[in-house]
Structure 1
Amino acid sequence: MRLIAFFAVVSVATFIANPSRAQDAAAGEKVFTKCKVCHVADVDTNKIGPSLHGVIGRTAGTHPDFKYSEAMIAAGKSGVVWDEPTLTTYLHDPKAKVKGTKMAFPGLKKDEDVANVIAYLKQFSQ
Structure 2
Amino acid sequence: MKKTLSLAVIAVTSAMALSTSAMAGDAANGEKIFKKKCKTCHVVEAGKKPKATGPNLAGFLTRPSGTSDYKHSKKLAAAGITWDEENLDQWLKNPKKMVKGTRMTFKLKKEKDRQDVIAYLMTIGS
TM over 0.5: yes
Going from structure 1 to structure 2, the CA distance change for 1:115 and 1:84 (only over 3 Å counts) comes to same
Q: Is the 8 A contact 1:90 1:97 kept in 2?
A: yes
Give the equivalent residue in structure 2 for 1:28. Answer: 30
Between the aligned partners of 1:20 and 1:81, the Cα distance in structure 2 is 20
Going from structure 1 to structure 2, the CA distance change for 1:95 and 1:123 (only over 3 Å counts) comes to same
Going from structure 1 to structure 2, the CA distance change for 1:22 and 1:82 (only over 3 Å counts) comes to closer
Give the equivalent residue in structure 1 for 2:74. Answer: 70
Q: How many residues are matched?
A: 106
Q: Is the 8 A contact 2:88 2:118 kept in 1?
A: yes
Letter paired with 2:39: K
Which structure shows the higher helix fraction? 2
CA displacement at 1:21 relative to structure 2: 4.2
State the secondary structure of the residue aligned to 1:20: helix
Gaps (5+ residues) in structure 2? 1-14
Between the aligned partners of 1:115 and 1:28, the Cα distance in structure 2 is 8
- Please give the TM-score of this superposition, normalised by the length of structure 2: 0.74
Gaps (5+ residues) in structure 1? 1-13
Between the aligned partners of 2:61 and 2:117, the Cα distance in structure 1 is 12
Q: Percent identity?
A: 47
Q: Tell me which stretches of 4 or more aligned residues in structure 1 moved more than 3 Å.
A: 17-22
Between the aligned partners of 2:24 and 2:122, the Cα distance in structure 1 is 14
State the secondary structure of the residue aligned to 2:60: coil
Tell me the C-alpha RMSD between the 2 structures: 2.1
- Please give the TM-score of this superposition, normalised by the length of structure 1: 0.74
